Structure 1
Amino acid sequence: MTGLIWHGTQDFQSFQSARHACDQGDGLSGYTWTEHDPREGGVQVLNDPRNNVKVTTELLKVQGGEHGGSWAARIKGEPLNPGIPSRTSFIFYFGIEGLGGIDMDTDEDENGVEGPIKFSGSTPDLGDFVIRVADGPDNNAVTSGPHAHAFADRIGKTHFVGLRLPAGDVWKSREHIMNAVLKHAQSVIAPYQDPAKGAPDPSFVLQLPDEVYSSSNLYAIQKSFDGEFQFDVFFESGSAKHRLSSSHLDGGVPAFKERFSKKFNEKFPLPGGASDSLTAFSKAITSNLLGGVGYFYGDSIMDSSMTHEWDEDETSEGFHLLQIGAWDNDFSLEILKDWINLIDEDGWVAREQILGEEARSKVPDEFIAQVPSYANPPTLTMAVTAFINRLKTFDSGPSDADLGLDHGANSQVVMEDGAPQSRDVYLRNPELAQEVLRSIYPKLKRHYDWFRRTQRGQIKQYGRRARSRTEAYRWRGRTETHVLTSGMDDYPRGPPHAGELHLDLMSWMAFFTRTMRDIAGYIGETDDEKAFVTIEKAMLDNLEDLHWSEEDQMYCDVDVNSDDESYFVCHKGYLSLFPFLLGLLEPSSPHLGPIFDILRSPDHLWSPYGIRSLSASHPEFGQGENYWKGPIWIQMNFMALSSLYKVYAKEPGPNQARAREIYVELRKNVIDNVFKEYERTGYVWEQYDALTGEGRRSHPFTGWTSLVSMILAEKY
């Protein structure tokens, strides 16, 4: 693992709030990938007003060898306000868990190292490797300040430490590195306790101790600067035999940025006349989504004993992958396959993937244990459907065989400037696409069957009548006030009851069935395809029979009262839109008009900023924790726009003209508000205020909020 820590040296207090992992409480005025491609690298910009520094990191990946290739990173900074000092200290660290080792090749010196610094190491996964760190040509150190003469031998040098951490502790690197700096600082400052002497300048005190313990598995190096700075880090894989230098970054970063812009304009074209700032915004939120993809491993904690009395009768990634798949189909498939591989033998996959101690340290205790009867909206099916649609519409041009490039699923085109480019291998080769779908189909079907088995609702009881005797569903794991498993945590529902039926889950299951039908048809599982067609019809029939309230003219949840009678639980909001949001209704449906009435009414869901989650006229609007009781969520607006664009504004029907009008207005409202708030705050947000449009809660939130790039390009 590698990481970067930095702090200001203008005072001692800045060290206590040293930057490490980006967190919304850090007080940064913006941090974003401006460009990022998982195959090539990226550029990230962080604005730190507390320490008056703008930090830019530039990363290039160089493929080759048998262990994932090499990479080079440039970290550079400049004052946000040139009129005031910008004094900063940066600590780059790297460590390994498990088998392997790292050694410091550069000769140690108790006063620090001048010039480049080099390490070598080896692990079973990485093979042999070298890590080098080199300064830029114009760096300046803090050379003046109290007691500068006493520290002359250490000023301007690279300081270091090598630590031996217990197994499983390398993820706590920040804590150990900061302790090493503090311990050294205490010894350095001890002779200056007399107030008459005054303390030395923080730049001379807050330093690593320049010592290496035997068998160290964590190394850190520290560089301190006055004003603008630059330093480069190189990771060279032994099997790739690369020899990287600063010149690779000098020429490679501009070339990468040019390629990224060209590809972005092809993948997510903006409408004519779009401003440069809107283009930069769309690039940034897409890049942040791509840059946020990580590889995680470890164990999960499960609690199979957790239950509620209304559950005792029974034993979000999809949105992200829509956009990742539009950018890089093959990369999205790798992620999709990893997610599907998490499905266990029963067909269950945990709602939250909290893997290992590091991940658990960031999650409240009450959310850590996962219950194997609790579900989550099957949004991954959206990613599978999107892949199939890309297969059906892909214009491959000349085949790989025609070009002499047919080297298998992991091959890539190497451009003239040496940069790799995805060739959409799975789209260009239908046989490989079939192979992928066949490989994921059994587990996905097992997951589908798990939903139908464990989330089944009751039909025969409570005087209910429906054309199908089997297709009804309810979320397990709810409380009196929350249905976390639905994803719409505090959205109003009826009282918990073993006989309740949930409209959103019924809709998700119909959508899931349609996806399974499409996969089965594509891979030639004709018997399964026919079965899914039958089940889908039964679900859509029961959607009407069980969930449409003629009196309320809306789709609703269903609950059971104290007299054991079934009744509708109707709350105008996202829930009541679900059959429309997932495109389950025919364009000729008589229910589409009443849905549009609710959606387009300013008294209910319509706002200048997007569709609200709950009617503004609802008594619970904006109340309580106000998570799904009014705020605007971009993924839900994306679903609405997608259904309008692909179905209701496209296909003939009595509401087609109205659907077109709503689409145009809603698209503009969503884009304008998210962009306005991005320019105002420097971030995109988890949700937006239902009355003002202001960003709310987590930020930056470039998961599903990054779908605005898809909306801009009208790629649904």
Structure 2
Amino acid sequence: MAQRRRLTVFLAFIFLHLNGLHLVLAAGEADGAESSEAGPGPASILNSEVARLNNESLFWGPYKPNLYFGVQPRTPKALWTGLMWSKVENYQDVQKGFRYTCEQHEIDGYGWEEYDARRGGIQSIHDEGNQIDITTSFVKVPAGAHGGSWAARIKGVPREGAPDDLKTMVHYYIAQEDPDAELLVENKDTGLGFEGDVIFQGRSENLGNYKLVVTAGEGGRPSNHHPLAEVRDGAFTTIRSLELPPELVWQARGIVYRQIQDSVKSLQNHHKLEEPLPPWVTYQLENSPGKGNVHVVQKMFEGAFEFDVIFSSASAGSELTSEDVTREIQTNSEFFGSRFSSIFDLKAPFTAEKYQKFGKSMLSNLMGGIGYFYGDHLVDRSNAPEYEEEDEGFWEEAAAARARHTPLSEGPFELYTSVPSRPFFPRGFLWDEGFHLVPIAEWDIDLTLDIVKSWYSLMDEDGWIGREMILGHEARSRVPEEFQVQYPHYANPPTLFLIIEGFMERLRRANGTQSTEEDGPSTADNLRTALLDDVGLGESYLRHLYPLLRRQFSWFRDTQRGEIKAYDRETFSSKEAYRWRGRTESHLLTSGLDDYPRPLPPHPGELHVDLMSWVGLMAKSLMNIAGALGITDEAAEYEKILTAIQRNLNDLHWSEEEGCYCDATIDEFEEHALVCHRGYISLFPFLVGLMQPDDPKLGRLLDLIGDEKELFSPYGIRSLSKKHELYGTGENYWKSPIWININYMVIAQLKNIATQEGPFQDRAKDLYTRLRKNVVDNVFKNWEETGFAWEQYNPENGKGQRIQHFTGWTSLVVSIMAMDDLGEDGHIRDEL
């Protein structure tokens, strides 16, 4: 079957080339290619087939990243499962140590050691509180329809110092949210529970017929010599089958607690106990298997244990076995190690084995944090006039308007995205995602573009995408109420343009010459670069996305425009000036830089240099994409806009006195004035690649970056100058800490300058070499000491702080380690 599918793709590739489809990515012109709309043709035929195979290989996954381990498919209202566990040595253990959702500071270290979205991976959980190490191994075997089959192996080993007979209670929660689906326990039990495997039979429209097996596995059972032992101590596995309202089944923790409570009450009602039963007997669920949309599978273990959960799609033919699971775990691990070394060829000084392990962890946790979200979200489309923010005191008026208006539920929508942090931010963040996808794009560009496509499917008719996508009740349960509502006049940095332009450049370089991978028997392995391997496919994707990018760009320019004429500002262009909406006195959340200092008091004539830079990046990207697609008139249009933005950045935002770019406001004399807060904001035209290597202003910015009394530190670039009066004050979120996403942008642009002829080449090379080492060494040191990547790092001592297990953009360190080591002459040094 796998060979037949590869042949189908191969023949389709040939069909494309024979029909002469090509992408205009070389220097030549394209005759008659002026339309921005994708037309029908063989590319769309192939695209549908590759899209189908792509969806099959990505269909299942640990796509509930808010759970320590939760499996679901990329389809609404489907079967999903989640793992729970707790020590049961005494009656307080369950209250203190019940694990299900990822929580801050609950577990000493956890995460994926290896993970590939098309094959699966291995996650380790070091639970000191429960005195056990849990390993969850997940494998996928695409075949047939409905995404094929999958399996999870759950293994527990008591930690050093734990008793050999450590008692552990494990629940595996199985839910089917489709009200028309069927799911029931097939095999008969002894009345008290199951000694062997438990077999579920299921059927639903989006999964077809399937079998789910929870194996008996291996491990001792707690013994009990109480006279009532036969009541609760005879079973290895018990099941509670329930029929619950579909909208409530996500509340798994509460549901399991309730089942435990019911079993305890039943025991108390039927038996008068002269001496208490041990907790592993008292907390055992009464066995009631049958039909339902929720099934709670409970196992009580003594010492080490292991069992499998095996899902076999009837369309796949043969059913998976535990022997298959063992083989797939080993094969996948070998594949991951080999591919990581090939894709992320770590460069000096990060070539030691410890950095390989570190890099694998960072990449795996980033990809292991990919989730599928489905549901409605809350939007305020009242279009209140106060939302225009045109009057002085606008932030107070806007706040009052928000309080008056009731948001409406919109959707349902679905989103496939990676998340910044599984315990703290298990939802989609628009500006984070562009950074997340930088390493993922190197590993699997087709997966990356699937995520990009998912985000753009959320765009409304005006071109707006919500900056936070909080879809459904489960996602909203993790978000404070004041942050749940989205506003269609609020923007967020358009970082996905970084990924799209990067894809286009890779497609230009490949030009259809890349060979299809031959690294395994699975068709999934040949899909990671399908959109690069065939130039027609890549063109089809870009043509589909291009009108959406154009619409988003227009939305930015319409809704975030700043005032030039009203304040008689002297500029090259009378149009290109921008202001983030959503400003308060202390925060500008829409910029992504939250509490970074801005002009005070806020003024409707304010202009923000970072927003202008982002719009410039969009214009540059659209110019390049339109040119690559042969849409020459639109490419020329974007080139004019880009030129105007570059000129206006200097006219409106450059301070010769400060030697950096600054936000602008209107002073008490109603005149244009710069407000300079030296830090990340000051660098933005450089960060997004809008400056030339010989620009004299670049030298001033490099001085700022390299000054240890201002931004440069042994751990990375500070967010705000150490000389600034607000450094480290107040909330201190973006007022001193080191953020890896901005440091990545600095490092990438320093490398760009260091590898081009120009007056600042040597200075950029020196800063690049030192900063690259400082950032990686510090993130690695914290990971080695704490077991976690962190949201930000302290600029004084380098310690990780705020959110732990922040495996979103902090994972950019793997891309930084793979960046070229520059030799003494500033050129790339070849590694032996």
TM-score (norm. length: structure 2) = 0.81
Question: Which of these residues, 285, 294, 305, is aligned with residue 362 of structure 2?
Answer: 285
1:437 alignment counterpart: 542
2:81 alignment counterpart: 2
Contact preservation (8 Å) 2:100, 2:253: no
Aligned to 1:376, what secondary structure does the other structure show? coil
Unaligned ranges ≥5, structure 1: 401-411
Change (3 A) 1:174 1:153: closer
2:379 alignment counterpart: 302
1:176 alignment counterpart: 255
- 2: CA distance, partners of 1:299 / 1:182: 32
Does 2:732 align with 1:620?
no
Deviation at 1:423, TM superposition (A): 4.9
Deviation at 1:79, TM superposition (A): 1.2
Contact preservation (8 Å) 1:319, 1:379: yes
Contact preservation (8 Å) 2:347, 2:819: no
Amino acid at match of 1:644: L
Change (3 A) 1:228 1:65: same
Deviation at 1:62, TM superposition (A): 0.3
Q: Write the mapping of 1:473-492 to structure 2, written as runs, cut at 5 A.
A: 473-492=578-597
Deviation at 1:623, TM superposition (A): 0.9
2:210 alignment counterpart: 129
Report percent identity of matched pairs.
Answer: 42
Contact preservation (8 Å) 1:143, 1:155: no
Deviation at 1:294, TM superposition (A): 1.1
Give CA-to-partner distance per residue, 1:381-407, whole Å, 9 cap, x none. Answer: 01101111221233865767xxxxxxx
Change (3 A) 1:275 1:568: same
1:587 alignment counterpart: 693
Does 2:173 align with 1:100?
no
Change (3 A) 1:423 1:337: closer
Change (3 A) 1:479 1:537: same
Question: Which of these residues, 463, 467, 490, is aligned with residue 347 of structure 1?
Answer: 463
Contact preservation (8 Å) 1:94, 1:219: yes
Aligned to 2:377, what secondary structure does the other structure show? coil
Deviation at 1:355, TM superposition (A): 0.8
Figure out how many residues of one structure are paired with residues of the other and give that number. 699
Contact preservation (8 Å) 2:104, 2:803: no
1:403 alignment counterpart: none
- 1: CA distance, partners of 2:611 / 2:104: 35
Contact preservation (8 Å) 1:70, 1:242: no
- 2: CA distance, partners of 1:122 / 1:264: 38
Change (3 A) 1:688 1:551: same
Question: Which of these residues, 496, 502, 505, is aligned with residue 386 of structure 1?
Answer: 502
- 2: CA distance, partners of 1:418 / 1:116: 31
Does 2:453 align with 1:337?
yes
- 2: CA distance, partners of 1:152 / 1:364: 45
1:275 alignment counterpart: 352
Amino acid at match of 2:185: M
1:198 alignment counterpart: 275
The more displaced of 151-160 and 581-590 is: 151-160
Aligned to 1:448, what secondary structure does the other structure show? helix
Give CA-to-partner distance per residue, 1:322-377, whole Å, 9 cap, x none. Answer: 11111101111111111111111011111110111111111110111111100000
Does 2:447 align with 1:328?
no
- 2: CA distance, partners of 1:537 / 1:431: 31
Change (3 A) 1:40 1:395: farther
1:367 alignment counterpart: 483
Deviation at 1:17, TM superposition (A): 3.5
1:405 alignment counterpart: none
1:237 alignment counterpart: 313
Deviation at 1:268, TM superposition (A): 0.8
Amino acid at match of 1:505: L
Amino acid at match of 2:102: D
Does 2:229 align with 1:110?
no
Amino acid at match of 1:516: L
1:68 alignment counterpart: 147
Deviation at 1:697, TM superposition (A): 1.1
Contact preservation (8 Å) 2:539, 2:629: yes
2:301 alignment counterpart: 225
Deviation at 1:615, TM superposition (A): 0.9
Deviation at 1:27, TM superposition (A): 2.1
Does 2:245 align with 1:140?
no
Amino acid at match of 1:253: I
Change (3 A) 1:193 1:550: farther
2:69 alignment counterpart: none
Contact preservation (8 Å) 1:34, 1:284: yes
Contact preservation (8 Å) 2:97, 2:129: no
2:777 alignment counterpart: 672
- 1: CA distance, partners of 2:565 / 2:639: 23
Deviation at 1:418, TM superposition (A): 8.5
1:562 alignment counterpart: 668
Aligned to 2:803, what secondary structure does the other structure show? coil
Amino acid at match of 2:690: L
Aligned to 1:243, what secondary structure does the other structure show? coil
Question: Which of these residues, 526, 546, 553, is aligned with residue 448 of structure 1?
Answer: 553
The more displaced of 672-681 and 171-180 is: 171-180
1:502 alignment counterpart: 608
Deviation at 1:420, TM superposition (A): 4.2
Contact preservation (8 Å) 1:503, 1:547: yes
Aligned to 1:299, what secondary structure does the other structure show? strand
Change (3 A) 1:24 1:177: closer
Does 2:539 align with 1:457?
no
The more displaced of 561-570 and 419-428 is: 419-428
Amino acid at match of 1:481: S
Amino acid at match of 2:607: L
Aligned to 2:247, what secondary structure does the other structure show? coil
- 2: CA distance, partners of 1:248 / 1:106: 22
Change (3 A) 1:377 1:358: same
- 1: CA distance, partners of 2:792 / 2:89: 37
- 2: CA distance, partners of 1:109 / 1:698: 48
Deviation at 1:152, TM superposition (A): 6.5
Give CA-to-partner distance per residue, 1:664-687, whole Å, 9 cap, x none. Answer: 000000000000000110000011
TM-score (norm. length: structure 1) = 0.94
Does 2:620 align with 1:514?
yes
1:639 alignment counterpart: 745
2:31 alignment counterpart: none
Amino acid at match of 1:357: H
Does 2:375 align with 1:259?
no
1:406 alignment counterpart: none
- 2: CA distance, partners of 1:14 / 1:237: 38
Deviation at 1:193, TM superposition (A): 7.3
2:109 alignment counterpart: 30
- 1: CA distance, partners of 2:190 / 2:242: 16
- 1: CA distance, partners of 2:451 / 2:92: 42
Amino acid at match of 2:276: A
Give CA-to-partner distance per residue, 1:493-549, whole Å, 9 cap, x none. Answer: 012111100000000010111011111111111110000011100000000000001
Deviation at 1:198, TM superposition (A): 3.3
1:544 alignment counterpart: 650
2:72 alignment counterpart: none
1:58 alignment counterpart: 137
- 1: CA distance, partners of 2:584 / 2:524: 52
